[in-house]
Structure 1
Amino acid sequence: MKTLLTSVLMLLAAFFAGGPTVETMTVSKSESTVTWKGRKVTGEHFGKVTISKADLQVVNNRITGGSFEMDMTSITVEDIKDANSNKRLTDHLKSDDFFSVDKFNKASMVIKDAKTNNGKDYQMTADLTIKGITQPVTFNAKAEMQGNKMVATSNILFDRTKYDIKYRSGNYFENLADRLIYDDVELEVRLVATAS
Protein backbone atom coordinates (compact mmCIF):
# COMPACT_ATOMS: atom_id res chain seq x y z
CA MET A 1 0.00 0.00 0.00
CA LYS A 2 2.82 2.38 0.90
CA THR A 3 4.61 1.61 -2.38
CA LEU A 4 1.41 2.27 -4.35
CA LEU A 5 0.89 5.58 -2.56
CA THR A 6 4.50 6.60 -3.30
CA SER A 7 4.07 5.73 -6.98
CA VAL A 8 0.85 7.73 -7.23
CA LEU A 9 2.49 10.73 -5.56
CA MET A 10 5.47 10.52 -7.95
CA LEU A 11 3.13 10.38 -10.97
CA LEU A 12 1.18 13.39 -9.69
CA ALA A 13 4.40 15.31 -9.11
CA ALA A 14 5.59 14.52 -12.65
CA PHE A 15 2.22 15.54 -14.08
CA PHE A 16 2.13 18.89 -12.32
CA ALA A 17 5.80 19.57 -13.06
CA GLY A 18 4.94 19.57 -16.77
CA GLY A 19 7.41 19.37 -19.62
CA PRO A 20 10.68 21.22 -20.12
CA THR A 21 10.66 24.91 -19.26
CA VAL A 22 10.40 27.28 -22.20
CA GLU A 23 12.83 30.16 -21.81
CA THR A 24 12.27 33.45 -23.63
CA MET A 25 15.47 35.09 -24.81
CA THR A 26 15.41 38.76 -25.74
CA VAL A 27 17.10 39.68 -29.01
CA SER A 28 19.54 42.59 -28.88
CA LYS A 29 18.51 45.18 -31.47
CA SER A 30 21.99 46.73 -31.51
CA GLU A 31 23.85 43.43 -32.06
CA SER A 32 21.39 41.85 -34.50
CA THR A 33 21.13 42.63 -38.21
CA VAL A 34 18.88 42.03 -41.20
CA THR A 35 20.54 42.58 -44.58
CA TRP A 36 18.40 42.52 -47.73
CA LYS A 37 19.61 41.76 -51.24
CA GLY A 38 17.75 42.15 -54.51
CA ARG A 39 19.03 41.16 -57.94
CA LYS A 40 18.33 42.40 -61.45
CA VAL A 41 19.66 41.56 -64.90
CA THR A 42 22.36 44.23 -64.66
CA GLY A 43 23.50 43.57 -61.09
CA GLU A 44 22.23 43.74 -57.52
CA HIS A 45 21.48 46.08 -54.64
CA PHE A 46 21.71 45.48 -50.91
CA GLY A 47 21.17 47.25 -47.62
CA LYS A 48 19.83 46.88 -44.11
CA VAL A 49 16.58 47.02 -42.16
CA THR A 50 16.48 47.69 -38.42
CA ILE A 51 14.94 45.15 -36.04
CA SER A 52 12.37 46.91 -33.85
CA LYS A 53 11.72 43.97 -31.50
CA ALA A 54 12.42 40.25 -31.37
CA ASP A 55 12.66 37.23 -29.11
CA LEU A 56 13.46 33.52 -29.27
CA GLN A 57 11.78 30.70 -27.36
CA VAL A 58 14.32 28.13 -26.24
CA VAL A 59 14.13 24.76 -24.45
CA ASN A 60 17.42 23.23 -23.28
CA ASN A 61 19.37 25.62 -25.54
CA ARG A 62 17.30 24.61 -28.58
CA ILE A 63 15.12 27.08 -30.47
CA THR A 64 11.44 26.10 -30.44
CA GLY A 65 9.91 29.39 -31.62
CA GLY A 66 10.31 33.12 -31.77
CA SER A 67 9.61 36.20 -33.83
CA PHE A 68 11.13 39.42 -35.05
CA GLU A 69 9.73 42.66 -36.36
CA MET A 70 11.43 44.97 -38.86
CA ASP A 71 11.02 48.74 -39.04
CA MET A 72 10.53 49.27 -42.78
CA THR A 73 11.00 53.05 -42.41
CA SER A 74 14.65 52.29 -41.58
CA ILE A 75 15.46 50.54 -44.88
CA THR A 76 18.84 51.59 -46.28
CA VAL A 77 20.82 51.03 -49.47
CA GLU A 78 24.50 50.29 -48.90
CA ASP A 79 25.92 49.54 -52.34
CA ILE A 80 25.30 53.00 -53.89
CA LYS A 81 27.78 55.61 -52.67
CA ASP A 82 26.45 58.66 -54.56
CA ALA A 83 24.10 60.43 -52.11
CA ASN A 84 21.49 61.49 -54.70
CA SER A 85 21.33 58.07 -56.38
CA ASN A 86 21.19 56.38 -52.97
CA LYS A 87 18.27 58.57 -51.86
CA ARG A 88 16.44 57.97 -55.13
CA LEU A 89 16.56 54.17 -54.73
CA THR A 90 15.80 54.30 -50.98
CA ASP A 91 12.74 56.47 -51.62
CA HIS A 92 11.66 54.15 -54.44
CA LEU A 93 11.90 51.10 -52.15
CA LYS A 94 9.64 52.90 -49.66
CA SER A 95 7.09 53.75 -52.37
CA ASP A 96 4.05 51.77 -53.48
CA ASP A 97 6.13 50.15 -56.25
CA PHE A 98 7.85 48.16 -53.49
CA PHE A 99 7.14 48.17 -49.73
CA SER A 100 4.49 50.93 -49.34
CA VAL A 101 6.18 52.05 -46.14
CA ASP A 102 3.71 54.88 -45.46
CA LYS A 103 0.92 52.30 -45.19
CA PHE A 104 2.90 49.32 -43.86
CA ASN A 105 5.78 50.52 -41.69
CA LYS A 106 6.41 47.10 -40.11
CA ALA A 107 7.21 43.66 -41.50
CA SER A 108 7.47 40.58 -39.30
CA MET A 109 8.38 36.93 -39.12
CA VAL A 110 6.98 34.36 -36.68
CA ILE A 111 8.65 30.94 -36.38
CA LYS A 112 6.00 28.20 -36.53
CA ASP A 113 8.26 25.14 -36.55
CA ALA A 114 11.94 24.52 -35.78
CA LYS A 115 13.40 21.06 -36.39
CA THR A 116 16.93 20.10 -35.33
CA ASN A 117 18.86 16.91 -34.63
CA ASN A 118 21.93 18.47 -33.05
CA GLY A 119 20.74 21.80 -31.58
CA LYS A 120 22.83 23.74 -34.11
CA ASP A 121 21.45 23.09 -37.59
CA TYR A 122 17.76 23.82 -38.07
CA GLN A 123 15.09 23.60 -40.69
CA MET A 124 12.49 26.24 -39.91
CA THR A 125 9.08 27.22 -41.19
CA ALA A 126 7.81 30.70 -40.46
CA ASP A 127 5.07 33.14 -41.38
CA LEU A 128 6.54 36.20 -43.11
CA THR A 129 4.30 39.28 -43.22
CA ILE A 130 5.06 42.13 -45.63
CA LYS A 131 2.58 44.85 -46.68
CA GLY A 132 -0.02 43.16 -44.49
CA ILE A 133 0.23 39.92 -46.50
CA THR A 134 1.33 36.73 -44.69
CA GLN A 135 2.94 33.82 -46.51
CA PRO A 136 4.87 30.77 -45.22
CA VAL A 137 8.60 30.51 -45.83
CA THR A 138 10.94 27.58 -45.17
CA PHE A 139 14.66 28.02 -44.60
CA ASN A 140 17.75 26.59 -42.94
CA ALA A 141 19.29 28.26 -39.89
CA LYS A 142 22.22 27.81 -37.56
CA ALA A 143 22.30 28.57 -33.84
CA GLU A 144 24.92 28.25 -31.13
CA MET A 145 25.50 29.38 -27.58
CA GLN A 146 28.38 31.83 -27.16
CA GLY A 147 28.76 32.27 -23.43
CA ASN A 148 25.35 33.40 -22.17
CA LYS A 149 24.21 34.48 -25.63
CA MET A 150 22.56 32.55 -28.43
CA VAL A 151 23.56 33.57 -31.95
CA ALA A 152 21.21 32.45 -34.71
CA THR A 153 21.86 33.04 -38.42
CA SER A 154 19.90 32.26 -41.56
CA ASN A 155 19.48 33.21 -45.21
CA ILE A 156 15.82 33.50 -46.09
CA LEU A 157 14.66 33.67 -49.69
CA PHE A 158 11.17 34.96 -50.48
CA ASP A 159 9.23 35.70 -53.66
CA ARG A 160 8.36 39.41 -53.55
CA THR A 161 5.41 39.02 -55.93
CA LYS A 162 3.55 37.02 -53.26
CA TYR A 163 3.51 40.26 -51.24
CA ASP A 164 2.13 42.40 -54.08
CA ILE A 165 5.57 43.72 -55.07
CA LYS A 166 5.41 43.24 -58.84
CA TYR A 167 7.48 46.17 -60.12
CA ARG A 168 9.47 45.03 -63.20
CA SER A 169 8.74 41.37 -62.50
CA GLY A 170 9.11 39.12 -65.54
CA ASN A 171 6.02 37.22 -64.42
CA TYR A 172 3.83 40.31 -64.78
CA PHE A 173 5.48 42.51 -67.42
CA GLU A 174 6.78 41.67 -70.90
CA ASN A 175 9.79 42.96 -72.85
CA LEU A 176 11.65 44.29 -69.79
CA ALA A 177 15.02 43.18 -71.21
CA ASP A 178 17.80 44.52 -68.96
CA ARG A 179 15.26 46.42 -66.81
CA LEU A 180 13.93 43.17 -65.32
CA ILE A 181 14.19 42.73 -61.54
CA TYR A 182 14.22 39.14 -60.27
CA ASP A 183 11.39 38.06 -57.97
CA ASP A 184 13.50 36.42 -55.24
CA VAL A 185 14.70 38.66 -52.42
CA GLU A 186 17.23 37.42 -49.87
CA LEU A 187 17.25 38.31 -46.18
CA GLU A 188 20.46 37.57 -44.30
CA VAL A 189 19.42 37.48 -40.64
CA ARG A 190 21.66 37.45 -37.55
CA LEU A 191 19.96 37.43 -34.16
CA VAL A 192 21.89 37.73 -30.90
CA ALA A 193 19.76 36.87 -27.87
CA THR A 194 20.22 36.68 -24.10
CA ALA A 195 17.95 35.27 -21.39
CA SER A 196 15.30 37.76 -20.25
Structure 2
Amino acid sequence: MRKPFATLLFITALSVSVLSCKDKAKEAETTEAEMPATAEATAESYKANVDASTIQWKGFKPTGEHYGTIDIESGTFDVTNGEVVGGSFIIDMNSIVVNDLPADDEKNTKLTGHLKSDDFFDVEKYPNAVFTITGAENGEGKTMLSGNLTLKDAKNNIIFPVSVSQNGDELILESETFTIDRSKWNVKYGSKSFFDDLGDKFINDDIELKVTVKATKA
Protein backbone atom coordinates (compact mmCIF):
# COMPACT_ATOMS: atom_id res chain seq x y z
CA MET A 1 0.00 0.00 0.00
CA ARG A 2 2.93 2.34 0.59
CA LYS A 3 4.02 2.43 -3.06
CA PRO A 4 0.66 3.64 -4.46
CA PHE A 5 0.44 6.21 -1.66
CA ALA A 6 3.95 7.48 -2.43
CA THR A 7 3.05 7.63 -6.12
CA LEU A 8 -0.08 9.62 -5.29
CA LEU A 9 1.98 12.09 -3.24
CA PHE A 10 4.45 12.49 -6.12
CA ILE A 11 1.66 13.15 -8.65
CA THR A 12 0.02 15.66 -6.31
CA ALA A 13 3.30 17.50 -5.76
CA LEU A 14 3.99 17.52 -9.51
CA SER A 15 0.50 18.90 -10.21
CA VAL A 16 0.99 21.69 -7.68
CA SER A 17 4.38 22.50 -9.21
CA VAL A 18 2.93 22.68 -12.74
CA LEU A 19 0.05 24.86 -11.63
CA SER A 20 2.43 27.19 -9.78
CA CYS A 21 4.56 27.59 -12.92
CA LYS A 22 1.47 28.38 -14.97
CA ASP A 23 0.28 30.96 -12.45
CA LYS A 24 3.59 32.82 -12.28
CA ALA A 25 3.74 35.87 -14.51
CA LYS A 26 6.56 35.97 -17.03
CA GLU A 27 9.59 38.08 -16.14
CA ALA A 28 10.16 41.08 -18.38
CA GLU A 29 13.28 40.73 -20.52
CA THR A 30 15.82 42.95 -18.80
CA THR A 31 18.94 44.43 -20.41
CA GLU A 32 21.14 47.50 -20.17
CA ALA A 33 19.47 50.89 -20.65
CA GLU A 34 18.91 52.04 -24.23
CA MET A 35 18.43 55.36 -26.01
CA PRO A 36 14.88 56.76 -25.62
CA ALA A 37 12.59 56.63 -28.66
CA THR A 38 12.34 59.84 -30.68
CA ALA A 39 8.94 60.57 -32.20
CA GLU A 40 8.46 62.43 -35.48
CA ALA A 41 7.05 65.94 -35.39
CA THR A 42 3.74 64.65 -36.79
CA ALA A 43 3.11 62.39 -33.79
CA GLU A 44 0.11 63.26 -31.61
CA SER A 45 0.72 63.96 -27.94
CA TYR A 46 -1.37 62.43 -25.15
CA LYS A 47 -1.25 63.44 -21.49
CA ALA A 48 -1.78 60.86 -18.75
CA ASN A 49 -4.95 61.09 -16.68
CA VAL A 50 -3.30 60.32 -13.35
CA ASP A 51 -6.57 59.84 -11.46
CA ALA A 52 -7.47 56.97 -13.81
CA SER A 53 -3.99 55.43 -14.04
CA THR A 54 -2.26 53.05 -11.65
CA ILE A 55 0.30 50.31 -11.18
CA GLN A 56 -0.72 47.17 -9.32
CA TRP A 57 2.09 45.33 -7.51
CA LYS A 58 2.48 42.01 -5.73
CA GLY A 59 5.37 40.64 -3.68
CA PHE A 60 6.00 37.09 -2.50
CA LYS A 61 7.63 35.26 0.39
CA PRO A 62 7.47 31.62 1.61
CA THR A 63 4.67 32.40 4.06
CA GLY A 64 2.43 34.35 1.69
CA GLU A 65 2.17 37.48 -0.40
CA HIS A 66 1.36 41.17 -0.20
CA TYR A 67 -0.16 43.39 -2.87
CA GLY A 68 -1.26 46.94 -3.49
CA THR A 69 -0.93 49.92 -5.83
CA ILE A 70 1.40 52.75 -6.76
CA ASP A 71 0.27 56.03 -8.35
CA ILE A 72 1.47 57.49 -11.61
CA GLU A 73 2.40 61.13 -11.00
CA SER A 74 2.51 62.34 -14.63
CA GLY A 75 3.16 61.11 -18.13
CA THR A 76 2.92 61.73 -21.86
CA PHE A 77 2.70 59.48 -24.91
CA ASP A 78 3.61 60.16 -28.54
CA VAL A 79 1.18 58.37 -30.86
CA THR A 80 1.29 57.78 -34.61
CA ASN A 81 -1.52 55.93 -36.42
CA GLY A 82 -2.81 54.54 -33.13
CA GLU A 83 0.58 53.20 -32.08
CA VAL A 84 2.66 54.46 -29.14
CA VAL A 85 6.03 55.56 -30.53
CA GLY A 86 7.50 57.42 -27.55
CA GLY A 87 6.89 59.04 -24.20
CA SER A 88 7.44 58.46 -20.51
CA PHE A 89 5.69 58.44 -17.16
CA ILE A 90 6.79 59.24 -13.64
CA ILE A 91 5.88 56.93 -10.76
CA ASP A 92 5.25 58.39 -7.29
CA MET A 93 7.08 55.92 -5.04
CA ASN A 94 5.79 57.66 -1.91
CA SER A 95 2.25 56.64 -2.92
CA ILE A 96 2.82 52.93 -2.26
CA VAL A 97 -0.34 51.42 -0.77
CA VAL A 98 -0.82 47.95 0.75
CA ASN A 99 -4.26 46.51 -0.06
CA ASP A 100 -4.17 43.00 1.40
CA LEU A 101 -4.26 44.29 5.00
CA PRO A 102 -6.97 46.58 6.45
CA ALA A 103 -5.95 50.24 6.12
CA ASP A 104 -6.34 50.81 9.88
CA ASP A 105 -4.32 47.68 10.80
CA GLU A 106 -1.02 48.34 12.55
CA LYS A 107 0.60 45.70 10.32
CA ASN A 108 -0.40 47.72 7.26
CA THR A 109 1.27 50.84 8.64
CA LYS A 110 4.39 48.88 9.54
CA LEU A 111 4.67 47.19 6.11
CA THR A 112 4.01 50.40 4.19
CA GLY A 113 6.67 52.19 6.21
CA HIS A 114 9.12 49.36 5.65
CA LEU A 115 8.57 49.44 1.87
CA LYS A 116 9.24 53.19 1.87
CA SER A 117 12.37 52.85 4.01
CA ASP A 118 15.94 52.48 2.76
CA ASP A 119 15.57 48.70 3.21
CA PHE A 120 13.44 48.71 0.07
CA PHE A 121 12.70 51.76 -2.10
CA ASP A 122 14.14 54.58 0.04
CA VAL A 123 11.45 57.04 -1.08
CA GLU A 124 12.96 59.92 0.89
CA LYS A 125 16.08 59.77 -1.29
CA TYR A 126 14.37 58.44 -4.44
CA PRO A 127 10.79 59.80 -4.44
CA ASN A 128 10.17 58.92 -8.08
CA ALA A 129 10.75 56.09 -10.50
CA VAL A 130 10.65 56.79 -14.24
CA PHE A 131 9.72 54.67 -17.26
CA THR A 132 10.92 56.04 -20.62
CA ILE A 133 9.84 54.31 -23.82
CA THR A 134 12.66 53.10 -26.07
CA GLY A 135 10.62 51.20 -28.66
CA ALA A 136 7.60 49.06 -29.49
CA GLU A 137 7.14 46.06 -31.77
CA ASN A 138 3.85 44.54 -32.88
CA GLY A 139 3.33 40.84 -33.40
CA GLU A 140 0.93 37.98 -32.66
CA GLY A 141 -1.84 40.42 -31.76
CA LYS A 142 0.08 42.24 -29.06
CA THR A 143 2.58 45.07 -28.64
CA MET A 144 5.90 44.43 -26.93
CA LEU A 145 6.79 47.71 -25.25
CA SER A 146 10.38 48.40 -24.26
CA GLY A 147 11.60 51.16 -22.01
CA ASN A 148 14.16 52.21 -19.45
CA LEU A 149 12.96 51.78 -15.87
CA THR A 150 14.87 54.01 -13.47
CA LEU A 151 14.33 52.84 -9.89
CA LYS A 152 16.48 53.98 -6.97
CA ASP A 153 20.03 54.35 -8.33
CA ALA A 154 19.73 51.88 -11.22
CA LYS A 155 18.42 52.02 -14.78
CA ASN A 156 17.60 48.95 -16.90
CA ASN A 157 15.63 48.36 -20.07
CA ILE A 158 12.61 46.07 -19.76
CA ILE A 159 10.27 44.60 -22.37
CA PHE A 160 6.70 43.52 -21.60
CA PRO A 161 3.42 42.99 -23.52
CA VAL A 162 0.78 45.72 -23.63
CA SER A 163 -2.48 46.45 -25.38
CA VAL A 164 -3.19 49.93 -26.72
CA SER A 165 -6.70 51.12 -27.51
CA GLN A 166 -8.28 54.43 -28.45
CA ASN A 167 -11.77 55.78 -27.83
CA GLY A 168 -12.12 59.22 -29.32
CA ASP A 169 -9.49 61.43 -27.70
CA GLU A 170 -8.74 58.88 -24.98
CA LEU A 171 -5.90 56.35 -25.19
CA ILE A 172 -5.56 53.38 -22.85
CA LEU A 173 -2.29 51.50 -22.45
CA GLU A 174 -2.62 48.38 -20.34
CA SER A 175 0.09 45.81 -19.72
CA GLU A 176 -0.26 42.13 -19.16
CA THR A 177 0.88 41.08 -15.70
CA PHE A 178 4.66 40.69 -15.69
CA THR A 179 7.48 40.54 -13.15
CA ILE A 180 10.75 42.35 -12.62
CA ASP A 181 13.72 41.12 -10.60
CA ARG A 182 14.14 43.74 -7.87
CA SER A 183 17.77 42.76 -7.27
CA LYS A 184 18.64 44.32 -10.64
CA TRP A 185 17.59 47.69 -9.17
CA ASN A 186 19.52 47.18 -5.92
CA VAL A 187 16.47 46.47 -3.76
CA LYS A 188 18.37 44.15 -1.45
CA TYR A 189 16.33 43.49 1.71
CA GLY A 190 15.68 39.75 2.26
CA SER A 191 17.07 38.88 -1.17
CA LYS A 192 18.94 35.63 -1.75
CA SER A 193 20.81 37.41 -4.54
CA PHE A 194 22.69 39.38 -1.87
CA PHE A 195 22.47 37.27 1.31
CA ASP A 196 23.09 33.53 1.62
CA ASP A 197 22.14 33.03 5.29
CA LEU A 198 18.42 33.81 5.16
CA GLY A 199 17.07 30.27 5.42
CA ASP A 200 13.30 30.42 4.86
CA LYS A 201 13.11 34.08 5.89
CA PHE A 202 13.83 35.39 2.41
CA ILE A 203 11.59 37.53 0.19
CA ASN A 204 11.33 36.63 -3.49
CA ASP A 205 13.19 38.86 -5.92
CA ASP A 206 10.24 38.83 -8.33
CA ILE A 207 7.82 41.74 -8.07
CA GLU A 208 4.64 41.30 -10.08
CA LEU A 209 3.37 44.40 -11.89
CA LYS A 210 0.39 45.43 -14.01
CA VAL A 211 0.44 48.90 -15.54
CA THR A 212 -2.65 50.82 -16.64
CA VAL A 213 -2.29 54.32 -18.05
CA LYS A 214 -5.21 56.32 -19.45
CA ALA A 215 -4.32 59.43 -21.41
CA THR A 216 -6.13 62.22 -23.26
CA LYS A 217 -5.06 63.96 -26.44
CA ALA A 218 -3.20 67.14 -25.48
Name the TM-score class by shorter chain: 0.7 to 0.9
> How high is the TM-score relative to the length of structure 1?
0.85
Query: Identity over the aligned pairs, expressed in percent?
Result: 37
> How high is the TM-score relative to the length of structure 2?
0.76
Candidates 79, 96, 102, aligned match of 1:75:
96
Aligned length: 177
2:174 corresponds in structure 1 to 153
Question: Which stretch shows the higher mean deviation, 40-49 or 86-95?
Answer: 40-49
Q: Do the aligned partners of 1:56 and 1:67 also contact (CA within 8 Å) in 2?
A: yes
> In the alignment, does 2:154 pair up with 1:133?
yes
> In the alignment, does 2:215 pair up with 1:193?
yes
| AA of the residue aligned to 1:115 | E
Q: Tell me, which stretches of 5 or more residues in structure 2 are unaligned?
A: 1-39
Alpha-carbon separation, structure 2, partners of 1:157 and 1:69: 19
| AA of the residue aligned to 1:169 | S
1:7 corresponds in structure 2 to none
> In the alignment, does 2:80 pair up with 1:59?
yes
Candidates 105, 111, 130, aligned match of 1:108:
130
| AA of the residue aligned to 2:166 | M
- Give CA deviations for 1:24-56 in whole Å, capped at 9, x if unaligned: 111100111111111111111111111110111
What SS class does the counterpart of residue 96 from structure 1 fall into? coil
Alpha-carbon separation, structure 2, partners of 1:178 and 1:45: 17
Which one has a bigger Cα radius of gyration?
1
Q: Do the aligned partners of 1:20 and 1:59 also contact (CA within 8 Å) in 2?
A: no
- Give CA deviations for 1:37-80 in whole Å, capped at 9, x if unaligned: 11111111111111110111100111111211111111111101
Alpha-carbon separation, structure 2, partners of 1:58 and 1:37: 30
Candidates 109, 113, 134, aligned match of 1:91:
113
Q: CA RMSD in A?
A: 1.7
For the structure 1 residues 95 and 20, does the alpha-carbon distance in structure 2 shift closer, same or farther, using more than 3 Å as the test? closer
For the structure 1 residues 50 and 178, does the alpha-carbon distance in structure 2 shift closer, same or farther, using more than 3 Å as the test? same
Q: Tell me, which stretches of 5 or more residues in structure 1 are unaligned?
A: 1-18
What SS class does the counterpart of residue 184 from structure 2 fall into? helix
Q: Do the aligned partners of 1:68 and 1:110 also contact (CA within 8 Å) in 2?
A: yes
